[in-house]
């Protein structure tokens, strides 16, 4: 089961009374890809859609409408269910009930009574919407059939605080959401509260994984810095020893140099704690700077000799 189908299952269960059924069917019809005076076609690969459509038609039109129902195999377990109406009188009845003008389809808020906006959005989602599994990415979109309907839907979503962006794709006007919180608000409004909770849980798991990765990467970077610094310090000390200058260093620097050679894996803080007179990290770093300066001077002498 896909996340998108889970959303359809949940919002279908929320379409319970006639007002919500009326608004849901309105959303499906209004945003159908084909709606002309000669033909209305409603299509979906969703089994939820196939179960819901007869219920909605009976609730709103009783026996007045008799769509031609066809199921076409798309390969494997995939099937396309198509509801087609070609009778001019029946199409005229749909237009009369919902005040739809096929040549200029637009949202009529007067069709949405008794707080049925959520059911209307559910219908639009059934008709032209999809949402990607949030484990992969955050993306919800509506493939609307006209610029006017795309703009109307953008305004309706804006009324609930959701900002969508639009683009053209294969002659369809796509309204899409990328912001996870806006997707959550849309799912909740449509009646998919459990799917909203699942999306939020996925976000929490992703955030935890990202934080763990950042900590691990930070730890690795710190380890690499410690190793690189220790290697430079040991090279400096070994150069000083080869040049017979170890005894020329102060007792404090000699002790630190010997500790570093014996403990190449320790941090500056840990080295400082092992000194006969323990000092902090900054004190150890200052002493290594003196050792580095001494080694650099020996290198210059060797280059000039």
Residue 265 has what DSSP assignment? T
pLDDT of residue 114: 76
Spatial separation of the C-alpha atoms in residues 126 and 108, rounded to whole Å: 18
User: What are the backbone dihedrals phi and psi of residue 223, each rounded to the nearest 5 degrees, phi first?
Assistant: -65, -45
- What distance in Å separates the CA atoms of residue 41 and residue 29, rounded to the nearest whole number? 9
How far apart CA 112 and CA 225 sit, in angstroms, is 64
State the angle between helix axes of 117-128 and 18-30 in degrees (0 to 180), rounded to the nearest 10.
40
- Sequence-distant (6+) residues with CB within 8 A of 40 are 29, 32, 34, 84, 85, 91, 94
- Taking only the tens of pLDDT, the chain with its 305 residues reads 689 899 999 999 999 889 999 999 999 999 999 999 999 999 888 889 989 999 999 999 987 788 888 888 766 677 888 899 999 999 999 999 999 999 999 999 888 887 789 999 999 999 999 999 999 999 999 999 999 999 999 999 999 999 999 999 988 899 999 999 999 999 999 999 999 999 999 888 888 888 888 878 777 777 778 788 888 898 889 889 988 888 888 999 999 999 988 888 888 888 999 999 999 999 999 999 999 999 998 888 888 86
Strand-pairing partners, residue 75, are 78
Spatial CA neighbour of 131 closest among 82, 194, 184, 168: 184
Residue 300, pLDDT score:
87
Neighbouring residues of 185: CB distance < 8 A, sequence distance ≥ 6: 160, 161, 162
Short-list 218, 243, 228, CA closest to 288? 228
Distance (Å, whole) CA 277 – CA 148: 80
Q: Which helix (H) or strand (E) holds 131?
A: strand 129-131
Q: Taking the CA atoms of 12, 16, 18 and 23 in sequence, report the sign of the dihedral they define.
A: negative
pLDDT value, residue 38 = 93
Give Dmax over CA atoms of the chain in angstroms.
108
pLDDT (0 to 100) of residue 67: 84
Helices (H), the chain: 3-13, 18-30, 47-61, 88-98, 117-128, 147-159, 180-190, 193-242, 251-262, 268-274, 281-304
Q: What is the pLDDT of residue 230?
A: 84
What confidence score (pLDDT) does residue 214 get?
A: 81
Domains of the chain: 3-191 (3.10.28.10), 211-304 (no CATH)
Its pTM stands at: 0.70
pLDDT at 247: 87
HSE toward the beta carbon, residue 155, CA cutoff 13 A: 10
Confidence (pLDDT) at 305: 66
Q: How far is CA 16 from CA 58, 65, 123, 182, 298, in A?
A: 13, 21, 13, 25, 88
d(CA 49, CA 29): 13
Q: Name the helix (H) or strand (E) containing 140.
A: strand 140-144
């Amino acid at each position: 089961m896909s996340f998108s189908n889970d959303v359809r299952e949940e919002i279908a269960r929320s379409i319970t009374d006639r007002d919500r059924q009326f608004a849901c069917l309105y959303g499906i019809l209004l945003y159908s890809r084909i709606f002309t005076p000669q033909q209305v076609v409603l299509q979906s690969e969703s089994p939820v859609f196939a179960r819901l459509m007869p219920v909605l038609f009976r609730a709103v039109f009783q026996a007045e409408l008799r769509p031609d129902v066809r199921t076409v195999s798309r390969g494997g377990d995939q099937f396309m269910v198509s509801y087609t109406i070609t009778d001019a009188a029946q199409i005229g009845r749909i237009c009369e009930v919902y005040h739809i003008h096929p040549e200029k389809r637009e949202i009529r808020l007067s069709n949405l009574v008794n707080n049925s906006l959520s059911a209307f959005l559910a219908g639009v989602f059934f008709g032209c919407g999809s949402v990607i599994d949030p484990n992969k990415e955050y993306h919800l979109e509506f493939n609307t059939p006209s610029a006017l309907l795309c703009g109307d839907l953008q305004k309706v979503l804006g009324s609930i605080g959701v900002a969508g962006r639009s683009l053209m794709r294969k002659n369809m006007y796509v309204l899409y959401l990328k912001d996870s919180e806006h997707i959550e608000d849309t799912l909740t409004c449509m009646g998919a509260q459990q799917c909203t909770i699942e999306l939020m849980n996925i976000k929490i798991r992703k955030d935890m994984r990202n934080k763990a990765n950042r900590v691990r990467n930070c730890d690795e970077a710190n380890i690499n810095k410690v190793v690189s610094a220790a290697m430079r310090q040991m090279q400096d000390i070994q150069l000083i020893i080869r040049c017979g200058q170890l005894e020329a260093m102060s007792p404090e620097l000699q002790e630190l140099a010997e500790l570093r050679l014996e403990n190449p894996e320790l941090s500056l803080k840990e080295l400082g704690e092992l000194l006969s007179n323990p000092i902090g990290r900054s004190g150890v770093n200052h002493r290594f700077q003196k050792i580095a300066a001494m080694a650099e001077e020996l290198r210059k002498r060797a280059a000039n000799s």
